[in-house]
Amino acid sequence: MKYNRKLVLVCTGKDCKSEGAKRLQKELSHDPALKGKCKWIKTKCLDHCKSAPVVVVGDFFCKKATVQKVSELIKKS
Ligand code: FES
């Protein structure tokens, strides 16, 4: 059975949280273009705190993540 939604890991460790990871996830999850396409998974620290906020989309590691960067990654992958 194939899982149709993309798995998106959002780090909610201390540094990512302080750099707006939760707000980022909230904005992305309300994007109509992405609605129903992703499964959002909150993670603990991914050990790239200096690049916070960090989001992983499939095989891609998005450092200093922004809504635009993550949205494009999701659409491309
Ligand atoms: S807190 Fe997110 S990578 Fe460490």
Transcribe 7-55 into DSSP letters: EEEEE-SHHHHHTTHHHHHHHHHT-TTTTTTEEEEEES--S-GGG-S-E
**Domain range annotation of the chain:** 6-76
Beta carbon of 73 within 6 Å of any ligand 1 atom: no
> How far apart are the CA of 1 and the centre of ligand 1, in A?
33
Which homologous superfamily does the CATH classification assign to the domain defined by 6-76? Glutaredoxin (3.40.30.10)
Residue with tokens 């991914």: 46
* CB of 53 closer than 8 Å to CB of 22: no
pLDDT given for residue 2 in this prediction: 76
pLDDT given for residue 63 in this prediction: 97
Beta carbon of 57 within 6 Å of any ligand 1 atom: no
Best substitution site from 9, 10, 11 to test ligand 1's pocket, by max atoms within 8 Å of Cβ?
11
Other Cβ atoms closer than 10 A to 1: 3
DSSP single-letter state for residue 59: T
For residue range 10-69, list pLDDT tens digits in order. Answer: 999 999 999 999 999 999 989 998 888 899 999 999 999 999 999 999 889 999 999 999
**Nearest residue by C-alpha to atom 1 in ligand 1:** 13
